[in-house]
Structure 1
Amino acid sequence: MFWRMAGLSTASPVETILDKENFTLEELLDEDEIIQECKALNGRLISFLRERVQIEQLVRYIVEKAPEDAEKTRTFKFPFIACEIFTCEVDIILKALVEDEELMDMLFSFLEPERSHSTLLAGYFSKVVICLLLRKTVPLMTYIQAHRDIIKKLVDLIGITSIMEVLIRLIGADEHLYSNYTDVMQWLEETDVLEMIVDKFSSSDSPEVHANAAEALCAITRYAPPGMMSKISSPSFVGRLFHHALEDSRPQSVLINSLSICISLLDPKRLTSGAYYTYNRQMILGSRITVNAETLDGMLKSLGDLLKLLDISTEDHVLLTTYGELHPPLGKHRLKIIEFISVLVTVSSEAAEKELIRLGAVKRIVELFFEYPYNNFLHHHVEQIVVSCLESKNSLFVEHILKDCNLVSKFLEAEKNFALATVSDKPTVPAEGKLPPRIGNIGHITRIANKLVQLANDDNDIKLHLQENSEWVDWHTNVLQKRNAVENVFQWACGRPTALQDRTRDSDDEDYQDRDYDVTELANNLSQAFRYGIYSHDEIDEPHGSLERDDEDTYFDDESAEVVISSLRLGNDQERLVQQFMLAFSDNYFYSLPFFRSRFHQMNLKG
């Protein structure tokens, strides 16, 4: 227990219970200090808890659901305390559990299909198993290797997030295990666990199952050992994945999560938490990635069937929005396809670029950019696709985006007609009885246009294409350059912080000294402060009712005075105003300070 000092310590409630002749496990579990005593390695308590009878009862609290008429302590507190006792990582208790096969059978009986798998108990089970996996790796893996049906049971319950976490730790998301326990982990590569996980896309209709299966496979693509990685990136596995994704009878969650796995195979460093997980990191436009050629070929075989899903002509679904109607809405599945294409174009593969040109994938995606002018997720991916195409070393790809996709003309047309079109054959229609709102992709058009100008400095093909378009030249001169000037935050005097990617200063002092101050207003404010006695001084009569301040509040040292003067960026007029300001108070408070007095002498204001 904490705070044990000679002469000051008091008896712990746990010790009081242990002093009884006949006490029960439940009495200890009901005592709030039991976890603290376990962590403090209370010898009497550990000796009691390590007994097989007690460990068996602790395991039962974790894996068996409480009766409906049970008290709250049995339903909630005892399972929690039992889990915490195991995760205190007391070696003698963990050893007593993991070395007793009957107790391990009882622990993993939680995975049996006929059991009630409540989220609460699943969390406790997961914490205990992960603790054993980290602290008793060899005996636990030896037990699981002798009971390989545990892997299948874990996969069957992958829809429970806690169970998914156990599976991820087990099959490759913990680099520590594979580097230090190669022998006991090697057998996992010989199992068909990856196939069992991917087949959940076919055997289950639950979105939670699909999402967790994708999360597990994405984790494997990032951390798995070479043997497991070669299996998941093989053309046969990728083909199996696309087969499930493109089945007509399957829910859209299968397609969305299957593509998440493909994206992770192309770019393993990509984050995978949340529906739009790519926005959790700063996008680096134009960055190139490399990928296994066989993996890429397996994806390209199904690319044509995937792009057919971008067709919106056959859907009748209508979604009402604040700006009008979407019929149909773009949908998460199409957005995920476009995200997949945005990663695919960053792959350094001539074969992928050739296939994208042949299928017209980029052209169709650019059309969607203008058909859905308020979907910023879509605009983000389209910008990444366009920039990746423009930065490609393949001149055919650059020519395709400029000429075949007619990119510049589409931008100029959108700039001229910046209000939402009322054409009924478009998927985005403004609300009746209201003025059509301004389209929402002008900002992305501006960013892409600036990128075009930047790339034209080094690419003669892009430069020539822009110069031949007289309308572009006029728009660039009269609209784009002026817009860039207005949006240049360094020219603003309102104190708005700059974007991280635009910040060039390394010192806070430079940014601080680069601000403008109204010196007249500063002098007036200080004048009011002295008039009402905020800064008290012996030579100033303090009016009745003025604020009472402590000496610490009114102290103004040389360092503070230096900040006042040196932080001002002064012109000629401002210098004159400061002189007047200093003269106004030179006979009073400020002149009594050594720093200001020295400045007065420097400026020849005082003899």
Structure 2
Amino acid sequence: MFWRMAGLSTASPVETILDKDNYTLEELLDEDEIIQECKALNGRLINFLRERVQVEQLLRYIVEEAPEDAEKNRTFKFPFIACEIFTCEVDIILKTLVEDEELMHLLFSFLEPNHSHITLLAGYFSKVVICLMLRKTVPFMNYVQAHQEIFRQMVDLIGITSIMEVLIRLIGADEHIYTNYMDAMQWLEDTEVLEMIVDKLSSSDCPEVHANAAETLCAITRYAPPGISAKISSPSFIGRLFRHALEDSRPRSVLIHSLSVCISLLDPKRSSSSPYHMYRGQLTGGPSISANPEMVEGMLESLGDLLKLLDTSSAENILETTYGKLQPPLGKHRLKIVEFISILLAIGSEAAEKELIRLGAIQRILDLFFEYTFNNFLHHHVENIVVSCLESKKPVLIDHLLSDCKLVDKLLTAEKQSILATDTHKPTVPTEGRSPPRIGNIGHITRISNKLVNLGNNIADIQAYLQENTEWAEWHTNVLLKRNAVENVYQWACGRPTALHDRNRDSDDDDFRDRDYDVAALANNLSQAFRYGIYSNDDNEEVWFLPLLLLLICINSCILQF
């Protein structure tokens, strides 16, 4: 037990078992308090569990599947308790395991191809291995270095997420381990584990394998030591990645996850596992992204083949939706290509900008923006692309966007034709027999237009182009300014708090702190609500709630002022 007081505590069931002349490991594992006793470092219990025989049996519960006719304790409880005993991080028990090569063989026998790899035991195995990696780093890494076939076995099982997590830490994507045990980890740079992982994109058709292989590579780009990071960003590795991604026979998941790796290489801080990113933070002038020029050039070699996949003219599949049908749907792979291009523009690479202009990539992506008017994920990425071009202040990009791509003309045309067109040859077609809905990208059109106006005040090229367009000036005055006034929630006076100052904000926290609450108006509205029976006040005992609520509102208002 964690504590004992004479006369108050009863004997621990574990102590009762230990007092017996003959007891077994199974009897102890069947007691619910065994984990607490391990954490409390019960000397008699630890001395029993540290014995080699007991450690071996605990390992067998973890790595060997129970027979079909086994009891539930053997199938579920004993493996769980055995794993928890190891992860209690009792040094003397871990030492017995890591210093005995046969026991380590038994532990890693779980990875053998002819072994059963059920998810439950895989989770227990990974927890024990990670515990050894963290607490017994040097002897553990020495064992792995002497048995490097472990890498191939783990890569073969990379579709199991718990095995993937072990592999990520083992490669060096753990800052704590690498920083403190650099000598023990240095040899990893000479292995071919990266090549094994990327080749899983070609050798397997399982989407889970593709996703976990990409996640492993993305983790390496974010946290791995310099030697491995240099290898994964080399042009040869990038070429190998794109060869697998662009093979015609491969599933689309290979392309999607390969581009996730490229995005993570270009911007390591970007979360690759999420399909949707907080675009507002990306539009507010965050820290600039820098990328290895050789790595970028390696990606540009395959850019032309990548852009061909944005063509939707030859696709025949149709997706029915609530507003109509998509013929064809945009698809995750095209969306990922657009996201990849948005990151390419964000890094400020002159070579990438020239190649994107030469291939007409920005123009094609803008066309997709107006063809797929209900795909908000696409709209966010396109907005990022437009903002990157405008905020770069580079005349080549600005002129290409405004003159060659005719951005302003397309914005104005979309505003004039804000109802979804019934043209059956377009990718987005409204439902027959129903009134066509309003297009779904008006909000992004408004944001892009406001960005043009704001940047035009500081960038002469943008201002000159907008002033020359008389149609834009008329639309800006008669439509955009009025829309901004209507959509400014801080000026609404419909019972909601109003703001003292009207300013554009990118942080909800700033909005919250600077709001000015009209306490008197709120109190008056609340009093009238009770007076006219809007809220039930049948129970007289609840009347006290009104003044208390008003007091809380006053206190809250005072706090917000500071």
SS in 2 for 1:345: helix
Counterpart in the other structure of 2:283: 284
Counterpart in the other structure of 2:376: 376
Output the CA distance in 2 between the equivalents of 1:346 and 1:47. 60
- Counterpart contact for 1:97–1:103, Cα < 8 Å: yes
Amino acid corresponding to residue 310 of structure 2 in structure 1:
L
Displacement of 1:449 after TM fit? 0.1
SS in 1 for 2:420: coil
Counterpart in the other structure of 2:303: 303
Any idea what the Cα deviations from partners look like across 1:209-234, whole Å, max 9, x if unmatched? 11101001101111111111111110
Q: How does 1:69-88 map to 2 (within 5 A)?
A: 69-88=69-88
Aligned partner of 1:547 among 534, 540, 556: 540
Counterpart in the other structure of 2:424: 424
Counterpart in the other structure of 2:517: 513
Output the CA distance in 1 between the equivalents of 2:155 and 2:82. 26
- Counterpart contact for 1:455–1:462, Cα < 8 Å: yes
SS in 2 for 1:278: coil
- Counterpart contact for 1:285–1:388, Cα < 8 Å: no
Output the CA distance in 1 between the equivalents of 2:189 and 2:3. 50
CA, structure 1 residues 434+554, in 2 after alignment: closer, same or farther (shift >3 Å)?
closer
CA, structure 1 residues 54+488, in 2 after alignment: closer, same or farther (shift >3 Å)?
same
SS in 2 for 1:199: helix
Displacement of 1:518 after TM fit? 6.3
Counterpart in the other structure of 1:540: none
Amino acid corresponding to residue 278 of structure 1 in structure 2:
H
Output the CA distance in 2 between the equivalents of 1:117 and 1:504. 47
Output the CA distance in 1 between the equivalents of 2:140 and 2:82. 19
Output the CA distance in 1 between the equivalents of 2:155 and 2:324. 44
Displacement of 1:6 after TM fit? 2.6
1:501 and 2:506 equivalent? yes
Output the CA distance in 1 between the equivalents of 2:230 and 2:256. 23
- Counterpart contact for 2:315–2:328, Cα < 8 Å: yes
1:563 and 2:546 equivalent? no
Displacement of 1:284 after TM fit? 3.2
Displacement of 1:519 after TM fit? 6.6
Counterpart in the other structure of 1:340: 340
- Counterpart contact for 2:132–2:140, Cα < 8 Å: yes
Counterpart in the other structure of 1:321: 321
Displacement of 1:563 after TM fit? 3.5
1:219 and 2:224 equivalent? no
Output the CA distance in 2 between the equivalents of 1:282 and 1:326. 30
Output the CA distance in 1 between the equivalents of 2:492 and 2:147. 68
Output the CA distance in 2 between the equivalents of 1:117 and 1:516. 67
SS in 1 for 2:521: coil
Amino acid corresponding to residue 441 of structure 1 in structure 2:
N
Output the CA distance in 2 between the equivalents of 1:566 and 1:78. 57
SS in 1 for 2:429: strand
Any idea what the Cα deviations from partners look like across 1:252-284, whole Å, max 9, x if unmatched? 01000000000001000001223x142498433
Counterpart in the other structure of 1:270: 270
- Residue ranges of structure 1 left out of the alignment (5+ in a row): 535-544, 568-607
1:32 and 2:32 equivalent? yes
Output the CA distance in 2 between the equivalents of 1:546 and 1:199. 72
Q: How does 1:168-247 map to 2 (within 5 A)?
A: 168-247=168-247
Displacement of 1:176 after TM fit? 1.1
Displacement of 1:173 after TM fit? 1.2
Output the CA distance in 2 between the equivalents of 1:7 and 1:250. 71
SS in 2 for 1:325: strand
- Counterpart contact for 1:221–1:265, Cα < 8 Å: yes
Deviation above 4 Å: which 4+ runs of structure 1? 496-500, 502-508, 518-529, 553-557, 559-562, 564-567
- Counterpart contact for 1:326–1:429, Cα < 8 Å: yes
CA, structure 1 residues 323+138, in 2 after alignment: closer, same or farther (shift >3 Å)?
same
CA, structure 1 residues 59+426, in 2 after alignment: closer, same or farther (shift >3 Å)?
same
SS in 2 for 1:455: helix
- Counterpart contact for 1:286–1:346, Cα < 8 Å: no
Amino acid corresponding to residue 513 of structure 1 in structure 2:
Y
**Equivalenced residues, count:** 549
Counterpart in the other structure of 1:583: none
Output the CA distance in 2 between the equivalents of 1:68 and 1:562. 64
Output the CA distance in 1 between the equivalents of 2:101 and 2:267. 42
SS in 1 for 2:346: coil
Output the CA distance in 2 between the equivalents of 1:10 and 1:497. 64
Output the CA distance in 2 between the equivalents of 1:219 and 1:564. 47
Output the CA distance in 2 between the equivalents of 1:69 and 1:281. 57
- Counterpart contact for 1:430–1:436, Cα < 8 Å: yes
Displacement of 1:46 after TM fit? 0.6
Counterpart in the other structure of 1:45: 45
- Counterpart contact for 2:261–2:272, Cα < 8 Å: no
Output the CA distance in 2 between the equivalents of 1:39 and 1:52. 20
Output the CA distance in 1 between the equivalents of 2:345 and 2:467. 27
Q: How does 1:83-102 map to 2 (within 5 A)?
A: 83-102=83-102
- Counterpart contact for 1:61–1:82, Cα < 8 Å: yes
Output the CA distance in 2 between the equivalents of 1:564 and 1:74. 59
- Counterpart contact for 1:52–1:96, Cα < 8 Å: yes
Any idea what the Cα deviations from partners look like across 1:473-519, whole Å, max 9, x if unmatched? 111000000000001111012427999726585885x6353467167
- Counterpart contact for 1:220–1:229, Cα < 8 Å: yes
- Counterpart contact for 1:112–1:153, Cα < 8 Å: yes
Output the CA distance in 2 between the equivalents of 1:284 and 1:554. 45
Amino acid corresponding to residue 282 of structure 2 in structure 1:
M
| TM-score of the superposed pair, with normalisation by structure 1 | 0.86
Counterpart in the other structure of 2:472: 472
- Residue ranges of structure 2 left out of the alignment (5+ in a row): none
Output the CA distance in 2 between the equivalents of 1:22 and 1:159. 44
Counterpart in the other structure of 1:360: 360
Displacement of 1:564 after TM fit? 9.0
Counterpart in the other structure of 1:579: none
Output the CA distance in 1 between the equivalents of 2:159 and 2:398. 44
- Counterpart contact for 1:189–1:228, Cα < 8 Å: yes
Displacement of 1:562 after TM fit? 11
SS in 1 for 2:325: strand
| TM-score of the superposed pair, with normalisation by structure 2 | 0.93
- Counterpart contact for 1:290–1:347, Cα < 8 Å: yes
- Counterpart contact for 1:285–1:387, Cα < 8 Å: no
CA, structure 1 residues 496+369, in 2 after alignment: closer, same or farther (shift >3 Å)?
farther
- Counterpart contact for 2:245–2:258, Cα < 8 Å: yes
SS in 1 for 2:515: helix
Displacement of 1:72 after TM fit? 1.1
Q: How does 1:3-18 map to 2 (within 5 A)?
A: 3-18=3-18
Amino acid corresponding to residue 547 of structure 1 in structure 2:
N
- Counterpart contact for 1:489–1:496, Cα < 8 Å: no
Any idea what the Cα deviations from partners look like across 1:402-445, whole Å, max 9, x if unmatched? 01111011111110110111111101111111100000000000
Any idea what the Cα deviations from partners look like across 1:61-96, whole Å, max 9, x if unmatched? 000001111111111111000000000000000000
Any idea what the Cα deviations from partners look like across 1:373-421, whole Å, max 9, x if unmatched? 0000000000000110111232111100001111011111110110111
Displacement of 1:296 after TM fit? 0.4
